[in-house]
A and B are shown apart, each in its own frame.
Chain A
Amino acid sequence: MTSNVFRRVDRGETTIDFVGRRRTWFIISAVLIVLSLGSLAVRQLNLGIEFVGGLGLQAPNPAGAEVGEIRDALTAVGVTGPTIQFFDDGETVRVTTEALEPGVEAEAVTTLVEVTGSVRSEVSIDAVGPSFGALVARRALLALGVFLGAVILFITWRLEFKMAMTSVAALFHDLILTVGVYSITGFTVTPATVVAILTILGYSLYDGVVVFDKIDELVEIEDDKVYTEIVNKALNQVLARSLFTSLTSLIPIGSILVVGSVILGASTLTEFALALFVGLAASTYSSVFVAAPLLAVWKEKEEPWQERAQKVERRKRAGRA
């Protein structure tokens, strides 16, 4: 039975009514979006020091210093409220604080070296002024805006305007869910995360384009079907490709996620991969379950397609009579 289903998916012979059941998909998406936005409103995002400014220190811990020890030693030299995390089985310690005066910063490094029994050259340092963090964020937003504009133009030129708009709608859907996951899990949002999110935009659109390209192709061939049927047929035909693509894209990113956290603890790689993983999963879902049904609903309102719908309806009635 399972192999049978697999085979039908593989051959594009499934007849799932993606557009007809849109209420279900839209409700699922709406619930997830409300959850994401709700969490954003209540918990906000855990922004990394790269955006808000601050100091991050990472050092090996051969002396096996405890959280309390490190905190007391740092507080003694004038560091207020440091966050202290261990990973790599307690062999590496990471300290995060707000931005410090240069003098205090140097003392904080020296103190950390003493408490953990490490060597100064082994300490990794991240010190970011708040204005630079704001610049990074501003530039990323600018890139996002320009990218969206360019993509709408490109898809409109290559396919059509309504496909461009529904692609972008699906893209916002994916963005909100990804940002929501960061808010809910409390994972730190770093420039790496922003990069990952921008990548998702690419993937999300890539997925959408493959589906829409198929719809475009079928519209030429199927001149006796209503738009919804064409969309359904296209989706069923690209279903195998969507599944395999998602699988082959998720595998490398999954391995970054797993390997990154095993070897490096909560590192840049992991922060990166989580956003990619969630975003990719969301984009595969949204290209099939959000963008295409939205497009179908929208296109059916067009006069030529309404006329065709009436014609098909008449023919059906005639056939029955």
Chain B
Amino acid sequence: MTRRVVGLIIVLTVAWGGMAAAIYFGLTPLLGLDLQGGTAVVLTAPEGTDSELLEVATQIMNRRIEEIGAVQEPDIQISGENTVIVQLPGVEDEQRAIEAVGQTGVLSFRPVLDAVGGEIGPLAGTGTLNIDDGTGLTIEDDLEAETWLLYEAATPLEVLNLGPAELRGEHVADAVPVFDPNSAVWAVSLDLTSEGAGLFADLTAEAASYPVGDPRRQIAIVLDGHVVTAPAVNPSVSPETGISGGQAQITMGQSADSQQEATDLAVVLRYGSLPISFEVSAVRKVSGTLGADSLQAGIVAGLLGLGLVAMVLLLVYRSLGLVAIVGLTVFGAILITVFGLLGKWVGLTLTLAGVTGIIVSVGITADTYIVYFERIKEKLRQGLDIEEATEGGFKIAFRTMLTANTVSLLGAVLLWALAVGAVKGFAISLGIGTVLDLVVARLYTRRAAAVLATTGVGSHGWFSLEGAAR
């Protein structure tokens, strides 16, 4: 019997001490964005997209999101065959998030042939079908052809007549925002591949051959038919060589927004092209206040439910109820530790659906105790003594627990494997809860009931096991 007591003390110490240690080392469960606010974007790739391409796309998205900054633990997952779910906790500007992850970005560098300011009207009259009659702008950007595109960033607004693309996104090796402390100017430092270097030198040499102030000195950087920027070649550049060596700087300016602009442009230049064109299927943004409210509701509901369940168990099962209540705290402590560890290791977040899954598994745990306690009562009524009843009852009850929990676990695993979205979070909680329930029953409950059976509280009076069975 002392072996049982020692075992029980070890289990309790490991469970409660483990939780205390986890919390002390900051391993608290990660909260999903529906509990702390944030943005989730669901992107769908065309049917039959290669899974490797999808993988590459998520890597690019990951890097782009890091560039935005201020995102804690972004979570990008491929779900199903062609769906990508991006979760950005703490991001409250959903437009920027969508742009960061969803923009396909076919990036090109083009010579500017002409620029028309102010009034936008039928400009070229080339007679091709690809020109909008009203605005004179190119409808669908074609990298191989001349185009007329709006340059929104120019003041006043301009329409640029661009030649075919001479460099593409793949020619960019790297791009980083840089700050020159002497002139207090932000710029983007551009590194080109060896192939890109030659093309860029030709492009800039051509541009440098025009007089300063001529629109043809500009090089347009175009992303998906939008002119991102169109810097002019610096007066010092020689029309003989152009900008050679594969390195260039794009100067942004001194205004307050320049740093942001430089960062954004560097991101566009570096990760310009996602290999797949995604459709934004769903956007969900939860404000921080709503998240906090949901978390509070989940905790209050959980505690209230636990408290009431504890009362019922105590009333019906007397001192055995006490075993169950302590058992629920063991269950809770291990659960918090497990979620903390999984959050650290695999970035598992606890969502509202997950919290509900936990509350549901509290119900399952309570049921496990009831199945066991009913067996003990049955054995006591058959005339067995208390120790035989607790031990024998456990053996039969464990068989039932095993069958019933297997069915729940089966459901949880299938849900996790097959479902998308919130359902997954629920399935994970339910699955962990179901397994943990059996572990607690085997390691804790069996010992606790046996120890209780030997104490005076367990065997005499209203509060005893006998009292519950009468």
Does the CB pair B305–A129 fall under 8 Å? no
Does the CB pair B94–A202 fall under 8 Å? no
Segment at the interface with A among B212-220, B250-258, B365-373: B365-373
How far is A174 from B265 in the complex, measured between Cα atoms in Å?
57
Does the CB pair A252–B282 fall under 8 Å? no
B residues less than 8 Å from A58 (CB atoms) = 287, 290
How far is A10 from B370 in the complex, measured between Cα atoms in Å?
12
Does the CB pair B359–A256 fall under 8 Å? yes
Does the CB pair B309–A147 fall under 8 Å? no
Does the CB pair B370–A194 fall under 8 Å? no
Interface size on B, residues (CB 8 A): 73
A106 at the binding interface (Cβ < 8 Å): yes
Does the CB pair B356–A213 fall under 8 Å? no
Closest B residue to A214 using CB positions: B400
Does the CB pair A106–B95 fall under 8 Å? yes
Given A11-B381, A251-B308, A259-B300, check contact A122 B423 (CB 8 Å): no
A residues less than 8 Å from B92 (CB atoms) = 121
Give a binary string over B148-164; 1 marks a CB under 8 Å from any A CB, 0 the rest: 00000000000000000
The contact of B414 among A121, A150, A241, by CB within 8 Å, is: A150
How far is A125 from B92 in the complex, measured between Cα atoms in Å?
10
How far is A127 from B97 in the complex, measured between Cα atoms in Å?
14
Given A126-B284, A140-B423, check contact A252 B312 (CB 8 Å): no
The contact of A192 among B83, B316, B353, B400, by CB within 8 Å, is: B353
Does the CB pair A248–B80 fall under 8 Å? no
Within 8 A of A (CB), among B416-443: 418-423, 426, 430
Given A136-B420, A252-B306, A252-B360, check contact A269 B370 (CB 8 Å): no
How far is A127 from B364 in the complex, measured between Cα atoms in Å?
35
How far is A140 from B298 in the complex, measured between Cα atoms in Å?
24
Segment at the interface with A among B116-124, B190-198, B405-413: B405-413
**On chain A, which size bracket covers the interface?**
35 or more
Give a binary string over A4-20; 1 marks a CB under 8 Å from any B CB, 0 the rest: 00000011100000000
Does the CB pair A191–B423 fall under 8 Å? yes
A residues less than 8 Å from B367 (CB atoms) = 206, 245, 248-249
- What secondary structure prevails in chain B residues at the interface with A? helix
Given A60-B289, A128-B281, A195-B423, check contact A213 B297 (CB 8 Å): no
B293 at the binding interface (Cβ < 8 Å): yes
How far is A131 from B73 in the complex, measured between Cα atoms in Å?
28
Within 8 A of B (CB), among A273-295: 273, 276
Does the CB pair B42–A132 fall under 8 Å? yes
How far is A252 from B365 in the complex, measured between Cα atoms in Å?
12
How far is A237 from B400 in the complex, measured between Cα atoms in Å?
15
A residues less than 8 Å from B418 (CB atoms) = 139, 142-143, 146
Does the CB pair A202–B407 fall under 8 Å? yes
A residues less than 8 Å from B175 (CB atoms) = none
CB distance from B403 to the nearest CB of A (A): 5
Across the A-B interface, the 7 shortest Cβ-Cβ residue pairs:
A252-B305, A132-B281, A249-B363, A259-B301, A248-B366, A143-B418, A125-B285
> Which residues of A are interface residues toward B (Cβ below 8 A)?
10-12, 50, 58, 60, 106, 121-129, 131-133, 135-136, 139-140, 142-143, 146-147, 150-151, 154-155, 158, 191-192, 194-195, 198-199, 201-202, 205-206, 209-210, 213, 237-238, 240-241, 244-245, 247-249, 251-256, 258-260, 263-264, 267-269, 272-273, 276
- Extra contacts, 9 of them, besides A140-B419, A209-B400, A251-B305 (Cβ < 8 A), are A126-B285, A132-B44, A146-B414, A192-B422, A195-B419, A198-B415, A205-B411, A206-B367, A258-B301
